């Protein structure tokens, strides 16, 4: 197991290096002089020249790239053009808010998605099945930011059950709507997949055997079928973690949530390259890590998959 994890970690290195290079290229071959942006509207030419020198912008592109790879590996991503804050510090200060949001969102989606999926599979072709699968399809098709606005309108404006946007004084109630919004799409995907995966498993001989032994539906479904139906579900949870990271950009913008998603949009608006680079790297790194966890969890759920 240890060797397997090590090998997977090593395989992730070239992918991460590729990401670093692409990020560098993206933020380098764009119009607009970062030094000029940093110096501001009233920046004198000599200030701009000094900033260019300090930031190494006068170095040849390959040298800049090697420096960038070095700084990415050592997590020294420079300072924000806008407020001179360390990039790692700026991201770390916002990561907590996003982690709370994404964690709760994923939890909601797993609980709701799997429950709905299991019920749909057990009650296949019932009204409940059709109804929930139609809802799931809607959940996949509706843009998350729009769903967020609708929820905000219904629960904060019409019903007044929940306060509006922002974080208040950190009360839990402010977290509910954005987390639910974030969870809608993964919940819908998980529900669909759990259903189809369960249906496939329920038809297997060993389930029939368990039923023939006299076991009732509930333990058979939960103990025998669910465990084997979990593998595709784990995959989708892994993949959705990535789109959740994209989703926070939109949802934090709708709910004025002070996480890394909003930091990203602010950085884009101000062309704050170091922050943008840092964020894309952080998120891509998190995504690669999430995939690694998915691969490792396969082995835990399915002994047939070998560490190879």
Q: Which residues bind another protein (CB under 8 A)?
A: 14-16, 18-19, 22-23, 26-27, 30-32, 137-138, 140-143, 145-146, 149-150, 152-153, 156-157, 164, 242-243, 245-247, 249-250, 253-254, 264-265, 268-269, 271, 276, 279-280, 283-284, 287-288
Least distance to another protein, CB of residue 11, Å: 9
Q: Please say which residue, 85 or 142, places its beta carbon nearer to another protein.
A: 142
Q: Please say which residue, 116 or 220, places its beta carbon nearer to another protein.
A: 116
Least distance to another protein, CB of residue 44, Å: 25
Least distance to another protein, CB of residue 37, Å: 11
CB atoms within 10 A of CB 39: 20
Q: Please say which residue, 175 or 249, places its beta carbon nearer to another protein.
A: 249
Q: Please say which residue, 210 or 264, places its beta carbon nearer to another protein.
A: 264
What is the C-alpha separation between 13 and 7, in angstroms, rounded?
A: 10
Q: Please say which residue, 25 or 222, places its beta carbon nearer to another protein.
A: 25
Least distance to another protein, CB of residue 222, Å: 27
Least distance to another protein, CB of residue 166, Å: 13
Phi first, then psi: what are they for 124, rounded to 5°? -55, 140
Burial of 20 (0-12, 13-18, 19+ CB in 10 A): buried
């Amino acid at each position: 197991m240890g060797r397997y994890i090590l090998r997977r970690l090593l395989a992730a290195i070239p992918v991460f290096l590729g990401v670093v290079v692409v990020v560098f290229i993206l933020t380098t071959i764009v119009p607009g002089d970062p030094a000029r942006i940093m110096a501001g509207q009233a920046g004198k030419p000599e200030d701009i020249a000094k900033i260019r020198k300090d930031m190494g912008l006068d170095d040849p592109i390959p040298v800049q790239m090697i420096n960038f790879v070095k700084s990415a590996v050592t997590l020294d991503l420079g300072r924000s053009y806008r407020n001179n804050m360390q990039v790692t510090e700026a991201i770390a200060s916002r990561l907590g808010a996003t982690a709370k949001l994404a964690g709760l969102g994923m939890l909601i989606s797993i609980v709701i998605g799997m429950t709905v999926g299991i019920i749909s599979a057990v009650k296949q072709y019932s009204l409940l099945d059709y109804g929930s699968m139609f809802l799931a399809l809607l959940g996949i098709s509706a843009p998350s930011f729009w769903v967020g606005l609708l929820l905000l309108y219904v629960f904060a404006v019409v019903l007044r059950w929940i306060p509006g946007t922002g974080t208040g004084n950190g009360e839990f109630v402010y977290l509910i709507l954005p987390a639910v919004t974030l969870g809608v799409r993964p919940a819908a995907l998980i529900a669909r997949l759990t259903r189809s995966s369960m249906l496939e498993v329920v038809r297997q001989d060993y389930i029939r055997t368990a039923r023939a032994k006299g076991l009732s539906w509930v333990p058979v479904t939960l103990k025998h079928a669910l465990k084997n139906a979990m593998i595709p579900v784990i995959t989708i949870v892994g993949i959705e973690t990535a789109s959740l990271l994209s989703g926070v950009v939109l949802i934090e913008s709708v709910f004025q949530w002070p996480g890394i998603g909003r930091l990203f949009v602010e950085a884009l608006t101000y062309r704050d390259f170091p922050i943008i680079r840092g964020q894309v790297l952080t998120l891509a790194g998190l995504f690669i890590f999430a995939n690694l966890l998915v691969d490792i969890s396969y082995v835990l759920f399915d002994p047939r998959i070998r560490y190879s």
